[in-house]
Amino acid sequence: MPESTETQPAPARVAYKVRRDPCGIVIFGATGDLTARKLLPALYDLACEDQLPDNFYVLGVARRPLSNDSFREKMRTAVAAHSRFGAPESERWKSFARRLHYQPLDASQPDAYARLRESLHGLDRENHTAGNHLFYLSVAPSLYASIVEQLGASGLARQRDRGRRWTRIIIEKPFGHDLASARDLDDRVQQVFNEEQVYRIDHYLGKETVQNLAVFRFANGIFEPIWNRNYVDHVQITVAEEIGVGERAGYYDQSGALRDMVQNHLLQLLCLVAMEPPAAFEAGPMRREKLKVLQSVRPFLRRELERCAVRGQYAPGTMQGQSVAGYREENGVGANSSTETFAALRFEIDNWRWAGVPFYLRTGKRMTARRSEITIQFRAAPLQLFACTAMQPCQPNLLTLRIQPDEGMGLQVITKTPGLEVIGRSVQMDFSYGADFKSHTPSAYETLLLDSLEGDAMLFADGDWIKSAWQLVTPILEAWAEEQPRNFPNYPAGSWGPAEAESLLSREGRQWHTR
């Protein structure tokens, strides 16, 4: 009997729920922008996916005087605008909203923590959450240390019943302003919390493509043998933004691109590209290998700084046909501000795998396009047997990992063009998450919040990594602070940055890759 050619239906997706510890989630800074745009929509999306514990509650804490109902309505508006599930469905939202609570509280006042402790005891009894607490500091960095110390003084930082009841704390970036402040903050945190309780968040590590980088490298036997100085010419990491400083001028003008992006996001990406295979896909082994990378990066010498570090600031320009202001014309920015809105750096890693392979990192605001990606350029074939056309010269082999937008990856190779002559041409082999998996990608905050609830710290930075990162960039910060830039602003909004950034590569016969 012939086999049936009738298409078989795809197997139904089996929904399952991992049993997670009951807990109370306490958000300091609950009326702020991060809570509205990221945290509450992420928690709602997790609830829609049935990924939160059966017993949980969220307590928002901030100075603004709001009732529970007012806070819930404010969060409903935020969820409608930012949830990947769209406008909240009536019954689903009601189920989630009754878990939301609010307490007006000035986190800078020590006597407020006794009231907070009493509120948590009551909510724990009401929601049967067993005293497990996750504290999220979505506040100004200047408040981190005092909140941590007051949580300790009030007894809210302790883990009880020999660790069976847990307490964890998530601390947003920036973790410190330089090496000295990072060390001081880490010392103060460690006096109250054990390292296993502390989750220093970098939302880039929760992005799907960033997580996939480790899987891509270590699950595919064809790439790891060529992931080294013998086959890789250089690596580029770009995080470009179209937006300006917007409403963040007060913070950004005291920070700049090096502190805001390079010290955390870009160095994390560099470590994921360059690290050795970990002994296990777990927090401890992954953290150790990433730390080894930072410890192998060649320190910057003051006399060489101009050849390996470029800073820039955007001038007025045109974005998508519209005129936009320069950085110094933005609200809240001084007319003579020397804060950099662009940074490009050349790193070298002195170990056996990467010796002699430059890593170029760049980030900036008001650039041509919003783009975050990692590009690995491989060495050319030792003998070029096939010619390419003058109109379409042969390009190098590139592996590009797109972090945002259009998460995915592409591989550029040379193939023969159709016709009677043997002529090569560069083509792109492409993979897109959205096109191939046909599913909503969880937000980075969904991933990281869920990991913190489960006690999985693999996607969070530890104190040693933070301090090593600051140790690398602090000499650059100090040099730039001592010597004012001579030519700011030095790139127009809507461009790919200052000309000096192009020279960073062109003097070595290379160029930035832009799609």
CA 288 to each of CA 37, 258, 341, 462: distance values in angstroms, whole numbers, following the listed order: 33, 24, 32, 10
- Whether the pLDDT of residue 53 is over 50: the answer is yes
Residues sharing a CB contact under 8 Å with residue 224, sequence separation 6 or more, in sequence order: 217, 218, 277
Q: What value does the mean pLDDT take over residues 210-221?
A: 85
Question: Taken in order 506, 510, 513, 514, is the CA torsion positive or negative?
Answer: positive
Nearest to 392 by CA among 440, 365, 425: 425
CB atoms within 10 A of CB 331: 10
- Give the range among 14-18, 41-45, 442-446, 484-488 with minimum mean pLDDT: 14-18
Q: Contact at 8 Å (CB) between 171 and 203? A: no
Task: Give percent of the chain with pLDDT exceeding 90.
Answer: 68
- Report pLDDT for 394: 66
Which residue type does 325 have? A
**405 preceded by cis ω (within 30°)?**
yes
As a whole number, the mean pLDDT across the chain is 88
Q: Contact at 8 Å (CB) between 512 and 235? A: no
Alpha-carbon dihedral of residues 172, 206, 262, 141, nearest 10 degrees? Answer: 0
Q: What value does the mean pLDDT take over residues 207-227?
A: 86
- Whether the pLDDT of residue 22 is over 70: the answer is yes
Reading the block at residue 335, the tokens are 């007319």
Q: What is the DSSP string of 170-226?
A: EEPSP--SSHHHHHHHHHHHHTTS-GGGEEE--GGGGSHHHHHHHHHHHH-TTTGGG
Q: Contact at 8 Å (CB) between 262 and 254? A: no
Question: Which of 101, 121, 265, 513 is an active site residue?
Answer: 265
Q: What value does the mean pLDDT take over residues 329-357?
A: 95
- Whether the pLDDT of residue 18 is over 90: the answer is no
Give per-residue pLDDT as tens, 119-159.
999 999 999 999 999 999 999 999 999 999 999 999 999 88
| Integer Cα distance of 69 and 33 in angstroms | 19
For residue 241, the surrounding DSSP H or E stretch is none
- Report pLDDT for 2: 43
Nearest to 214 by CA among 295, 274, 291: 274
Q: Contact at 8 Å (CB) between 314 and 342? A: yes
Give per-residue pLDDT as tens, 373-399.
999 999 987 766 666 655 455 678 889
Q: Contact at 8 Å (CB) between 94 and 50? A: no
Nearest to 405 by CA among 433, 372, 440, 430: 372
| Integer Cα distance of 476 and 483 in angstroms | 11
- Whether the pLDDT of residue 113 is over 50: the answer is yes
Reading the block at residue 514, the tokens are 């832009």
At 60, the pLDDT band (50, 70, 90 cuts) reads very high
Residues sharing a CB contact under 8 Å with residue 293, sequence separation 6 or more, in sequence order: 270, 271, 274, 275, 349
DSSP state of 259: I
Q: Contact at 8 Å (CB) between 100 and 88? A: no
Q: Where are the alpha helices (DSSP H) in 267-413?
A: 267-274, 283-296, 305-308
- Give the range among 63-67, 87-91, 361-365 with minimum mean pLDDT: 87-91
Give per-residue pLDDT as tens, 258-293.
999 999 999 999 999 999 999 988 899 999 999 999
- Report pLDDT for 396: 84
| Domain architecture of the chain: domains with CATH | 23-172 (3.40.50.720), 205-442+461-506 (3.30.360.10)
| Integer Cα distance of 489 and 372 in angstroms | 23
CB atoms within 10 A of CB 89: 12
| Integer Cα distance of 227 and 236 in angstroms | 14
- Whether the pLDDT of residue 3 is over 70: the answer is no
Could you confirm whether 265 is annotated as catalytic? Answer: yes
- Whether the pLDDT of residue 441 is over 80: the answer is no
Give per-residue pLDDT as tens, 500-511.
999 999 999 999
Give per-residue pLDDT as tens, 459-469.
999 999 999 99
- Give the range among 242-251, 291-300, 303-312, 333-342 with minimum mean pLDDT: 242-251
At 480, the pLDDT band (50, 70, 90 cuts) reads very high
